Structure 1
Amino acid sequence: MSGGTGRRVVITGIGVTAPGGAGIKEFWQLLADGRTATRRISLFDPAPFRSQVAAEVDFDAEAAGLTPQEIRRMDRAAQLAVVTAREAVADSGLPFEQLDPTRTGVTIGSAVGATMGLDEEYCTVSDGGRLELVDHTYAVPHLYDYMTPSSFAAEVAWAVGAEGPASVVSTGCTSGLDSIGYATEVLREGAADVMIAGATDAPISPITVACFDAIKATTPRNDDPEHASRPFDASRNGFVLGEGSAVFVLETAESARRRGAHIYAEVAGYATRSNAFHMTGLRPDGKEMAEAIRVAMAQARVNADEIDYINAHGSGTKQNDRHETAAFKRSLGDAAYQIPVSSIKSMVGHSLGAVGSIELAASALAMEHHVVPPTANLHTPDPECDLDYTPLTAREQRIDTVLSVGSGFGGFQSAVVLARPDRSER
């Protein structure tokens, strides 16, 4: 992506709805404590499935402020996005009622769209799968919205009063990073003044669990859900499915400083690449992820020895963990061995398209608190994953620059660099 007009883009508001607690305070406390939010699936009976664990959000839509009509209209993923966007807007302190709505945009990432709603509605219209010719009259009135993920951006735009550019980014498990990268470019090129950007996914449904069961990507460690997600550990045997949402308020550094806003971080660099190799497979050398990292760092104008923390994709599959380790070494050289790395998926699971934004929220909060969140459940490191993966316990240290990466089915590899805006003045 180009640098546009060169306008610097910063984060001034964060909202998070994730496993283990709603809101940025609860979310950060979970990570800082190294606690896990993985458990046996409760949203449906998981007994027929190979993997029966997930990281669920304890979400009460009514208590979160949604009206009965909103709850009826929106799939769970859309509900999470709207509630989270409202938190981000409130956190930013921006007087949205005074903004030009045509200069306020929305970009929402999602890998699987309204999976839960579609799953539930198919069961209803097919009478539990018994009807080959389904009866559409039993479907909810807003079923069309479930089939078009663009409805997520529309719902968030309506919730915040945004009438500018609105889109959904769906690039698999890098959607949450790519939505931020796209929104940043919109601001850099001057097409908007404020962007509400992030991602949402609520994929914990029978169809999703069955799909990952079929390729044996998720863990069968059902007897110990709390310790089932084990990125970079020699005993890992698959990822733990999750759900959630993270949304940011992005604006130019100039406007944020002019109004005296609290700035969490600058989105200093972003790049994405495709491996053009395999739908689910990864090259062991990590070449494409390394290239995304290199370009993002070049755009941010930071060197490898200036990266203070790496928020890894860290899904907890052998293929990913080894690929990612190779990518860090390839792109960062000897500095890779000196930089603390961690995977928060060990605590909040893998929420597919949403997780990139959730991990960026963790990265920004790590900078805010100068704490590296740990990789939970990492007791026996894989010998091929020989970097500093911050096992078990959070670590206090100064953090001015963070690299966050993602890897997704389809061959997507993305990287974002967050930096303290005043780093060049220090």
Structure 2
Amino acid sequence: MDTLRVVITGIGVVAPGGIGTKAFWELLTSGKTATRAISLFDATGFRSRVAAECDFDPAKEGLTPQEIRRMDRAAQFAVVCTRDALADSGLTPAELPAHRTGVSIGSAVGCTMGLEEEYVVLSDGGRKWLVDSTYGVPHLYGYMVPSTLAVEAAWACGAEGPVALISTGCTSGLDAVGHGAQLIHEGSADVVIAGATDAPISPITSACFDAIRATTPRNEDPEHASRPFDRDRKGFVLGEGSAVFVLEELGRAKARGAHIYAEITGFATRSNAFHMTGLKPDGREMAEAIRVAMDKARIRPEDIDYINAHGSGTKQNDRHETAAFKASLGHRAYEVPVSSIKSMVGHSLGAIGSIEIAASVLSIERGVVPPTANLDTPDPECDLDYVPHTAREHRVRTALTVGSGFGGFQTAMLLSSLDVRDAA
């Protein structure tokens, strides 16, 4: 049994609708959406032409011209979030124990935008099969190696401990934070910078999701295109963004008088070993991840006050996780509020799990549950309390957040206010 306890003492967020936790939380609790027509590239001719984009100016966020030239957009997000999380925690890089500070960053698609932009140049717009490497920027190799995202975060905070890039599809953001917590549990680090980033709104990503019809074709009404758990949903809205956290061992955080947002009390992952993109309707593997996370946290279904759902807005996912909640929580599944913030900030692939952790932590701190926007006509097979349209004041001592990813990945994490385990 783990004896070291891991807490979150700093949060940095870059999300559609605003930069920073204040703007992020204001959007979520307003019930408004940040989805709009794609502006990052010309989406004419694509099946899905809507996305949740970040209004992000790297120079205004403190990045130097050299950093902007070197980094892919996803790396820029991660570095800004790392700096913000450290500032929020009250720490500076100079105060971190370098050899005892780790980094764990998640990403599903790495430096997609940088790679695509460079391929267009090298191949003369795709006309040349054999590309001319002399036209490539010096940082092209870094774009091809996803671990550079974690390296940039490590450089930003001076971390010289274990550094890793976690890529498990759409559960990457949860798994990276879970891995970071494990580094502290096992004694490999005292502080871990953990989170995820993705900037996938590009022609290649959009074309891939168009091909499997996973993204919504509701182009005429972008604000209402993301509709998790709604009968009339037609797929998810692609998003982008990042969230990064400062994780610390509880005793260390208390000793320095840190503000503690929440404790990571349980974490588990499972795989369905079934299909690259398909899900079994019974949700068995997600239910098992939830049960194992509850066992680790020593938490019963009755102790869960809020569920931050994966809620992508595809029929198979919404029904799959609804079944998983019922299988793992029993009657409690019908009593606890559930919501999907993807209805407002889209699905940023590997980053969304960390962004949803941020939403869950803020729910604990503020006593408010974000709504599921655009839930006008619930799917009869999704019959839980999905908090439609309007945020709800609700005491949250323990939040469950889950993720589901291509390849069959299923992840569950439990976050609790500090007094929950002390009272157990």
TM-score for both structures, normalised by structure 1: 0.98
Residue 41 in structure 1 maps to residue 38 in structure 2: yes
Which moved further from structure 2: 366-375 or 90-99?
A: 90-99
In structure 2, C-alpha distance between the alignment counterparts of 1:425 and 1:12, rounded to whole Å: 18
Partner of 2:283: 286
Question: What amino acid is the match of 2:103?
Answer: V
Alignment length (residue pairs): 423
Partner of 1:264: 261
Question: What amino acid is the match of 1:283?
Answer: K
Partner of 2:85: 88
Moved over 4 A (4+): none
Shift of 1:6: 1.8
Partner SS, residue 165 of structure 2: strand
Residue 143 in structure 1 maps to residue 140 in structure 2: yes
Partner SS, residue 204 of structure 2: helix
Q: Taking every aligned residue pair, what percent have the same amino acid on both sides?
A: 72
Partner of 2:156: 159
Choose from 287, 295, 306 the match for 1:298: 295
In structure 1, C-alpha distance between the alignment counterparts of 2:70 and 2:397, rounded to whole Å: 42
Question: What amino acid is the match of 1:229?
Answer: S
Shift of 1:162: 0.6
Shift of 1:95: 4.0
In structure 1, C-alpha distance between the alignment counterparts of 2:331 and 2:191, rounded to whole Å: 39
Structure 2 residue ranges without an equivalent (≥5): none
Choose from 371, 386, 404 the match for 1:374: 371
Alignment of 1:27-426 (within 5 A): 27-425=24-422
Shift of 1:130: 1.1
Shift of 1:424: 3.8
In structure 1, C-alpha distance between the alignment counterparts of 2:92 and 2:172, rounded to whole Å: 28
RMSD of aligned C-alpha atoms? Answer: 0.7
Q: Structure 1 residues 425, 374: CA separation in 2 closer, same or farther (over 3 Å shift)?
A: same
Partner SS, residue 9 of structure 2: strand
Question: What amino acid is the match of 1:209?
Answer: S
In structure 2, C-alpha distance between the alignment counterparts of 1:133 and 1:246, rounded to whole Å: 38
Shift of 1:328: 0.2
Which moved further from structure 2: 133-142 or 231-240?
A: 133-142
Partner SS, residue 333 of structure 1: helix
Partner SS, residue 403 of structure 2: strand
Partner SS, residue 418 of structure 2: coil
Structure 1 residue ranges without an equivalent (≥5): none
Partner SS, residue 416 of structure 1: strand
Q: Deviations over 1:313-356 (max 9, x none)?
A: 00000000000000000000000000000000000000000000
Question: What amino acid is the match of 1:262?
Answer: H
Shift of 1:137: 1.1
In structure 1, C-alpha distance between the alignment counterparts of 2:311 and 2:178, rounded to whole Å: 20
In structure 1, C-alpha distance between the alignment counterparts of 2:67 and 2:92, rounded to whole Å: 24
Shift of 1:397: 1.1
Shift of 1:425: 4.2
Q: Deviations over 1:220-261 (max 9, x none)?
A: 000000000000000000000000000000001111111111
Q: Deviations over 1:356-410 (max 9, x none)?
A: 0000000000111000000000010000000000000000011100000000000
Question: What amino acid is the match of 1:47?
Answer: T
Choose from 3, 14, 17 the match for 1:17: 14
